[in-house]
Amino acid sequence: MTVNMIIYSAAICATWSLCMSPVTAVRRLDTSVATNQHHHQHLTATLSEINTNATFRAPRRTVIGTNVDVPTANTPDDHLVTNLPLLDNDDFPTKHWAGLLPASDDGDKYLFYWLFAPDQEQIKKQKVAEKDIPLLIWLNGGPACSSMDGLWLENGPFRLTKDPHDPNKPWHIDIDPYSWHMAPAYVVYIDQPVGTGISFTTSGKYPTNDREVNVDFYYFLKKFLQLHKDKFLTQSDNSENTKFTLSRPLFFSGESHAGHYIPSMMNYIQQQNKNSDITIQLAGAAIGNGWVDPIYQYSAQDAAYGYGMIGKAQQRALDVLEEKCRDKLRNGIYRSETCFDLLDAVLDNSQGKSSPYIVSQYDQRKWEVKNKPRDFPPGHREVESYLGGHGPTIPGDFDFRNVLEAVHSLPSLKAGQVYYECTDPPYNALKHNDGLGVVPDVVDLLKNDIRLLFFNGIHDLICNHAGNENAVENFPWKFRDAFQKATRYGWKAPSKQQLGGYMKEHKNLQFLKVLDSGHMVPMDVPDISLDMIRMFMYQQSFQSYKQEIGTLSAGESNPSCPICPTCESDDEKKAESPIASPVSCPKCDDCNEVCKDLKQKQESSAGSDGTSQLSGMVLGAVTFLTMAASWMICCLFLRRRRRSIDGHTPLSPRNGYDMELPKTNGFRDDVDESDGGGYADGENGHARAID
């Protein structure tokens, strides 16, 4: 009805204008323009090496050795590190232990660990009771990438350093002031599964699924806790059965594929607690840029669009490819080129298809040379030289075997395990499960009140914040709707003046987007990451500044759900959509339901308003006839009035001069039709309005 009245009002104004100026002609342009078709560039990429797209890695081989004797550690002192090459012990007074522990009864599997005691000064500063100091387990991903990345490049206390301005100055180890043992916490870095980093097997057999990984890890974890029981275990009061429980909170943390490892491991530990001689209570986990739910996380195009790397039409084209990827996952195909092509397409076209450079999949702010080995993370080659004895970065007179001896791990070398950042055999054994999620494990942990923090560096592409947020928002737990509409906060890290990130939380689930960081948050923002892990483990608030933007209730819509083609109710929008046919996708299911409800409401509203619409049409017709009659009377009156002025007709001489009127055949003769001016068609065939 409102639209009808606007049209009628405009018509009345037009009629009055014509009556007052009957000699002025208006050129009416045909403003109907052909729809400008959006042609999608076919964004495909040849997958030269499928393996490189799952996680960062380099091809590595392990030669299996046999008859390896690993000395048994009976006390923590057997694994105490007292003389680490390149480290001045006076610079690092904190105790640390390292060594190999069995991962099975067979004696053919060993996992390597490196444990750091909490910083004593921080214990005093934070006023933490001994029993409240947590044990934090750190795992890197891959699969099959060493947790020495975390220790030497991210949140551990050591940094291999060389003065770039003085080539003669020897290498040395600097101490990182933002190491996570400063939280304070006991922090242990573990190379797993077997065959990763310094860990090894002499059988030539590697875990091929989550259960096999968990069985090995759980066996190792019990041996680790028993060896360091003075720090981590307390004996139960029941003297008939020798049972132990943890004497302090236990947390897990890690990144990338560790987002797959950790929920699966924690759930397995909970299941084993029922019949184990050690009850391992779990406090929580902080998972960074984690690979948790591939059904949402292959969507590199969503993050790429947010970064401005691709346009909206390209994003929608890749949405179609993403749906094909989801079909593969639903059918149990957990490793396919279709899914990898989503990221490949974004990367290969990030600077133009013909460019020799591409954006880094781990940080879209950085660039790499196409078809060249990635030098990521920075510093990993130095660590490989220090622990594995290869590469040109460490001076030739340095003997890496002294390092392995210092960390009680020379047997790994005898077993043929040479340290590399990432190794092939365990990776190849697990890569077929790349697209297998661990959502059921996450839900079980949430049901059991385990605290979970998912944090994301916002510049990552391969495990990007958009996909992770969609995954977290759609965990099928009982508080899903409440989490979706939970208040969002800006978080100011205590060590920084500016904002550190954005937090959303409800009950025991938290999601934090960390600014100024990519795939490896502790490497990019070490100070902020230390604040984060301290506040998480000690249950401090992240709610610095409340965002005042309202949220939809859970019943109205899923806030994380994008506008989908199936939600387009406007025929014109459908015609311009780059997707030929509507596509239904899991992340849009909630949207589609909302659209269906809206459509039903609109149809219902249209039915109830039918009478009023009919009345409006009748009123319109009457108004139109009235205006037409008024126009005719007005024009007749003006014509007669002009003929009576001074007794002259419009073409008769007046005061001795001939008077010529402009042509009145519907066009102005003072406009050059060849001149685009304000009249010719605009760019791309669009007509431009006359000023």
Over residues 433-465, the pLDDT tens digits come to 888 999 999 999 999 999 999 999 999 999 999
Q: Which range has the top average pLDDT, 8-17, 159-168, 344-353?
A: 344-353
Whether 548 maps to a domain, the answer reads no
pLDDT above 60: residue 32: no
**Same domain, residue pair 362 and 447:** no
pLDDT, tens only, 194-213: 999 999 999 999 999 999 99
Residue 588 lies in a domain: yes
Judged against a pLDDT cut of 80, whether residue 396 lies above it is answered with: no
Tell me if the bond preceding 249 is cis, omega within 30° of 0: no
**CATH code where residue 501 lies:** 3.40.50.1820
Residue 326, SS3 per DSSP = helix
Same domain flag for 200 and 330: no
String of DSSP letters for 249-271: -EEEEEETTHHHHHHHHHHHHHH
| Cis? peptide before 440, omega within 30° of 0 | no
What pLDDT does 552 receive? 63
The answer on 336 and 282 residing in a single domain is: no
516: confidence class by pLDDT, cuts 50, 70, 90: very high
Domain end call among 348, 369, 390? 369
Same-domain status, 159 and 280 = yes
Query: In this model, does residue 293 exceed pLDDT 80?
Result: yes
| Beta strands 363-369; 357-360: pairing state | antiparallel
pLDDT at position 622 is 52
Average pLDDT over residues 145-169: 89
Tell whether 550 is covered by a domain. no
In a domain, 554, yes or no: no
| DSSP assignment of 344-410 | HHHHHTTT-TT-SEEEETTEEEEEEETTS----STTHHHHHHHHH--SSSS-TT--THHHHHHTT-H
Instruction: Using only the alpha carbons of the chain, give its radius of gyration.
Output: 35
The answer, yes or no, to whether residue 12 has pLDDT greater than 50, is no
Q: Could you tell me if residue 4 is inside a domain?
A: no
More confident residue, 12 or 400: 400
Better-predicted residue by pLDDT, 162 or 393: 162
> Per-residue pLDDT tens for 47-63?
223 233 333 333 344 44
Pairing between β-strand 233-235 and β-strand 244-246 as defined by DSSP bridges: antiparallel
Structural domain contains residue 37 = no
What is the residue-wise DSSP string for 78-107? GGB----TT--GGG--S-EEEEEEESSTTS
Rounded Cα distance, 473 and 485, in Å: 10
d(CA 442, CA 449): 11
Whether 73 and 220 share a structural domain? yes
Q: Which of 7, 3, 1 has its CA nearest to residue 623?
A: 7
Cβ proximity of 505 and 542 under 8 Å: yes
Measure the CA–CA gap between 115 and 567, rounded to whole angstroms. 53
The residues, ordered by sequence, that sit 6+ positions from 174 with a Cβ below 8 Å of its Cβ are: 158, 159, 161
246 and 136 in a single domain? The answer is yes
Q: What is the largest CA-CA distance in the chain?
A: 133
Residues 343 and 458 in one domain: no
**Identity of the highest mean pLDDT range in 236-250, 391-405, 485-499:** 485-499
pLDDT confidence of residue 620: 56
Per-residue model confidence (pLDDT) at position 370: 85
What is the enclosing helix (H) or strand (E) of 467? helix 465-473
Q: Per-residue confidence at 678, pLDDT binned at 50, 70, 90?
A: very low
Residues 533 and 423 in one domain: yes
Domain range for 81: 54-293+380-541
Q: How far apart are CA 10 and CA 275, in angstroms?
A: 82
Average pLDDT, stretch 322-341?
Answer: 93
pLDDT at 355 over 60: yes
| pLDDT attached to residue 375 | 81
Quote the tokens at residue 510. Answer: 């938290």
Q: What is the pLDDT at residue 461? A: 95
Count of domains observed in the chain: 4
Phi, psi of 647 (to 5 degrees): 75, 15
Contacts of 213 (CB under 8 A, 6+ apart): 192, 193, 207, 261, 264, 265, 430
Q: If we measure between CA atoms, which residue out of 190, 204, 208 comes closest to residue 68? A: 204
- The average confidence (pLDDT) of the chain is 77
For 379, residues 6+ apart whose C-beta sits below 8 A from its C-beta are: 152, 153, 159, 160
Residues 114 and 164 reside in one and the same domain: yes
606 located within any domain: no
Instruction: Compute the distance between CA of residue 583 and CA of residue 564 in angstroms, rounded to an integer.
Output: 8
Query: What are the angstrom distances between the C-alpha of 158 and each of 121, 137, 161, 179, 328?
Result: 18, 17, 9, 8, 43
Q: Tell whether 359 and 387 lie within a shared domain.
A: no
CA distances (Å), origin 173, targets 134, 179, 378, 522: 26, 14, 16, 18
**What whole-number percentage of the chain has pLDDT above 70?**
68
Kindly state whether residues 269 and 346 are assigned to the same domain: no
Provide the strand spans (E) within 192-311: 200-201, 233-235, 244-246, 250-255, 278-279, 284-288
pTM of structure: 0.73
Q: Is residue 425 pLDDT above 70, yes or no?
A: yes
Check whether residue 265 and residue 353 sit in a common domain.
no
Tell whether 615 is covered by a domain.
no
Helices (H), 23-147: 120-126
How many CB atoms sit inside 10 A of residue 599's CB?
A: 12
Sequence-distant (≥ 6) Cβ neighbours of residue 475 within 8 angstroms: 439, 442, 443, 446, 483, 509
Residue closest to 321 by CA, chosen among 305, 344, 303: 344
